[in-house]
């Protein structure tokens, strides 16, 4: 856990990250050197496995970047294990109530505030070679459905929640399946921002196009993830393949 990176993530300034879903420590190491404030390592939808995670955390350790791991579920034992390996924080999908948020906070924290098991010899504590620090891990609570929207302010009010992070695909899908949704997507984004702001939390969003960033910052988002390793690689491959086909056509 990089303490300085965590301090910067909790400051008022906007911080920018990117999504890592391929499970490659080489890609993670490269991204860590490119100036991002935080990296999201995706265990929910990505192709990476839990076995890939430790090498990725090791590959990024030399750079001042926060490492956030999106877990596939709210299972406390898995969350504790990931934090023991040295992740800076957790992104929890589908947080729909304050009760769920409080349970997540308990999973992230040691007693008496939480229920996380304690060991002096885990990687997060230098395998016992340095004393544990008292820096709390970050908690990104994802708002991904109408129920989460309805309870966004209550979720933000939970002590220990750092970021309300919109899951754009799931949220838009959730709203589209309602016969008469009470919000459109843009209104939903505003609701999340205002809920976070009311309780001095951050709000975040994943975007595909970096050109959208100024408008999102103006709207009030402070934790913006720009693209992913998979999408960037796909775009580069498509561009290269398209160029090659045009050259072949010209040559013919």
Bridge partners of residue 19, in order along the sequence: 40, 228
Per-residue b or e along 116-141, where b marks 16 or more CB atoms closer than 10 Å to that residue's CB: beeeeebbbbeeeeeeeeeebbbbbb
Indicate if the pLDDT at residue 131 is higher than 90: no
pLDDT attached to residue 247 = 61
Mean pLDDT throughout 48-72?
96
Cα–Cα distance measured from residue 21 to residue 56, given in angstroms and rounded to the nearest whole number: 11
Cα–Cα distance measured from residue 28 to residue 127, given in angstroms and rounded to the nearest whole number: 23
Find out whether 22 and 232 touch, Cβ atoms under 8 Å: no
Indicate if the pLDDT at residue 251 is higher than 60: no
pLDDT attached to residue 59 = 97
45 assigned to active site: yes
Q: Is 172 exposed, middle or buried (0-12, 13-18, 19+ CB in 10 A)?
A: middle
Domain count, the chain: 1
Q: Which of 20-24, 71-75, 129-133, 182-186 has the lowest mean pLDDT?
A: 129-133
Residue 75: alpha-carbon gap to chain centroid: 17
Determine the 3-state secondary structure of 166 from DSSP: strand
Determine the 3-state secondary structure of 62 from DSSP: coil
Cα–Cα distance measured from residue 166 to residue 192, given in angstroms and rounded to the nearest whole number: 8
Indicate if the pLDDT at residue 3 is higher than 90: no
- Among 48, 51, 43, CA closest to 74: 43
Give, in order, the Cα–Cα distances in Å from 138 to each of 15, 208, 238, 239: 14, 24, 36, 37
pLDDT attached to residue 250 = 59
For the segment 77-118, what is each residue's pLDDT rounded down to a tens digit?
A: 999 999 999 999 999 999 999 999 999 999 999 999 999 999
Cα–Cα distance measured from residue 217 to residue 97, given in angstroms and rounded to the nearest whole number: 26
Q: Is 223 exposed, middle or buried (0-12, 13-18, 19+ CB in 10 A)?
A: buried
Task: Specify the CATH number for the domain of residue 238.
Answer: 3.20.20.60
Indicate if the pLDDT at residue 244 is higher than 80: no
Find out whether 139 and 89 touch, Cβ atoms under 8 Å: yes
**Number of neighbours of residue 53 by Cβ within 10 angstroms:** 22
Mean pLDDT throughout 192-197?
97
The answer to whether the bond into 237 is cis (omega within 30° of 0) is no
Mean pLDDT throughout 145-152?
96
Q: Which range marks the domain in which residue 185 is found?
A: 3-251
pLDDT attached to residue 26 = 97
Cα–Cα distance measured from residue 117 to residue 110, given in angstroms and rounded to the nearest whole number: 7
Beta strand pairing call for 223-228 and 89-92: unpaired
Mean pLDDT throughout 212-227?
94
Choose the catalytic residue: 45, 94, 125, 202.
Answer: 45
């Amino acid at each position: 856990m990089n303490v300085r990176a965590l301090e910067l993530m909790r400051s008022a300034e906007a911080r920018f990250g990117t999504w890592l879903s391929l499970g490659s420590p080489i890609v993670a190491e490269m991204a860590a050197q490119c100036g991002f404030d935080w990296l999201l390592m995706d265990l929910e939808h990505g192709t990476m496995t839990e076995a890939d995670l430790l090498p990725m955390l090791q590959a990024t350790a030399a750079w001042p970047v926060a490492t956030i791991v999106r877990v596939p579920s709210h299972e406390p034992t898995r969350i504790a294990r990931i934090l023991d390996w040295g992740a800076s924080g957790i992104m929890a999908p589908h947080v729909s109530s304050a009760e769920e948020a409080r349970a997540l906070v308990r999973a992230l924290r040691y007693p008496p505030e939480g229920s996380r098991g304690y060991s002096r010899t885990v990687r997060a504590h230098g395998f016992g070679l340095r004393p544990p620090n008292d820096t709390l891990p970050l908690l990104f609570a994802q708002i991904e459905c109408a129920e989460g929207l309805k309870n966004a302010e209550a979720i933000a009010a939970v002590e220990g929640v750092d970021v309300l992070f919109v899951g754009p695909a799931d949220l838009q899908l959730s709203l589209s399946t309602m016969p008469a949704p009470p919000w459109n997507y843009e209104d939903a984004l505003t609701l999340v921002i205002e809920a976070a702001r009311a309780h001095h939390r951050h709000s975040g969003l994943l975007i595909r196009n970096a050109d959208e960033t100024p408008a999102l910052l103006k709207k009030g988002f402070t934790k913006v993830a720009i693209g992913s390793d998979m999408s960037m690689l796909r775009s580069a491959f498509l561009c290269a393949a398209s160029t090659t086909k045009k050259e072949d056509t010209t040559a013919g």
